[in-house]
Amino acid sequence: MDFAETDEHVMLRGAVRAIAASYGHRYYADQTRRGEKAEALWAAIAEPGFLGVHLPEAYGGGGGGVTELAIVCEEVAAQGCPLLLILVSAAICAEVVARFGTPDQRQRWLPGLAAGEKMVFAITEPDAGSNTHRLATNARLDGDVYRLHGTKTFISGVDEAAAVLVVARTGLDDAGRAQLSLLVVDTDAPGLEKTPIPIEIASPEKQYLLHFDDVEVPADRLIGDEGEGLRQVFFGLNPERIMGACISAGIGRYALAKASAYATDRVVWDVPIGAHQGVAHPLAMCKVELELARLMIAKAAWLHDHDGDPSAAGEAANMAKYAAGEAGLHCLDTAIQTHGGNGLASEYGLADLWGLARLLRIAPVSREMILNFVAQQSLGLPRSY
């Protein structure tokens, strides 16, 4: 067993850190406040190939795995620039296209994705959140096109992407349950209406409500097999969960670094406040929780990359997502507390990350659904739903 990062991983981490640090949280917060995107940072990360590290070399990727993408995702967030679309575009969409796309489809989308083009992902619906069997958006084959109808909600970054991977029902199985399929839809397709959802998260990426009104999707945009969408999506959900965990862990590292620096510098009575155990111990506890979560992230990514038992990777990815979601928010909250009133001042760059850190306990999968999964899959407890 070897817990040491390889020289390549250390170098990758260092390079990503240097790029992201040259932008830093101030850039991220300023772009957000101005209603602009983090395009320049995204491009700077994409340029050396860091957003395609996990994709096959034949399609312009780096030939690595989710382990490498996790390093990229965490390191950017740890510099105060959590990029949600790494999770959506690089983790889910690119992984699904790479795994289930035909050679033509891979050639069509992967080189662009490896170079930093974005594809976003639409699964959640107003009446179907965690229960994917209730997805109502449907696609009906009509000659050589699918006709798409329905509504999707909380879809990140639609305004930044040329295409969206949509999960839609294409039929029913014998038990009357929805059979799901995956379609790549152009974001400027006629009949697709995009409405921003006002949301209390200070990030450059925006959330959208999508309404598909008889949107024509060429049949060659079906990824993988018709009716196999759910199984295929589950393959992409492990990387998604791992990246969600990485964003949380990155925010946690960022917050603890700021809190440690502040508590070492700030003197209220005779010694720096970090010498007081009332300040130091909560930060130390956060550090323990954070490092435990990061270990599980590394394990989950390793299991996913080593293509062994998919349920083992799923279990680890869920646990990593849970642990990092809790730890990231705990680190941020404790860092804010350490800063006293300054913790809420924009200048200190902490409180504006709260919305995203808080979201990551809910999405991409809620902590309650993870606990259900662990209770049933890991402990063998009976299910209630």
Q: Under the rule (CB under 8 A), what is the footprint of another protein?
A: 7-8, 11-12, 14-15, 18-19, 48-50, 52-53, 62-64, 68
The letter for the amino acid at 174 is D
In angstroms, give the least distance from the CB of 71 to another protein: 10
Distances (CA, A) of 259 to 180, 185, 252, 277, 342: 46, 44, 10, 14, 11
Instruction: Name the residue nearer to another protein (CB basis): 63 or 340.
Output: 63
Q: How far is the CB of 302 from another protein (least distance, A)?
A: 18
Separation of CA 190 from chain center: 28
Among residues 11 and 345, whose Cβ is nearest to another protein?
11
Cβ at position 6, least distance to another protein in Å: 9
Residue with smaller CB distance to another protein, 10 or 267: 10
Least gap, CB of 41 to another protein (angstroms): 13
* Cβ 94 to another protein shortest distance, Å: 14
> Smallest gap, in angstroms, from Cβ of residue 16 to another protein?
8
Residue indicated by tokens 């050396």: 48
Looking only at the bridges linking them, the beta strands covering 119-122 and 163-172 are parallel
Q: Which is nearer to another protein, 72 or 316 (CB)?
A: 72
**The dihedral formed by the CA atoms of 174, 184, 156 and 85, expressed in degrees to the nearest 10:** 120
User: Is the Cβ of residue 16 or residue 38 nearer to another protein in the bound state?
Assistant: 16
By residue count, the chain amounts to 385
Closest to 291 measured CA to CA, from 385, 299, 182: 299
Cβ closest to another protein, residue 45 vs residue 370: 45
Spatial distance between the Cα atoms of 108 and 220, rounded to a whole number of angstroms? 11
State the nearest-atom distance from the C-beta of 42 to another protein, in Å: 15
CB-nearer residue toward another protein: 13 or 149: 13
152: β partners? 210
Nearer to another protein, 45 or 120 (CB): 45
Q: Which two tokens stand for residue 166?
A: 């949509």
d(CA 221, CA 60) in angstroms, rounded, equals 21
Q: What minimum distance in Å lies between the beta carbon of 15 and another protein?
A: 5
**Residue ranges of the alpha helices (H) in the chain?**
7-33, 39-46, 66-78, 84-85, 94-100, 103-114, 229-265, 277-305, 310-338, 354-359, 367-373
| DSSP notation for 179-194 | EEEEEEEETT-TTEEE
Give least dist CB 332 to another protein, A: 25
SS3 203: coil
**∠ CA 161-34-250, rounded to 5°:** 65
Closest approach of another protein to the CB of residue 48, in Å: 4
Determine contact, residues 52/90, Cβ cutoff 8 Å: yes
DSSP 8-state class, residue 352: G
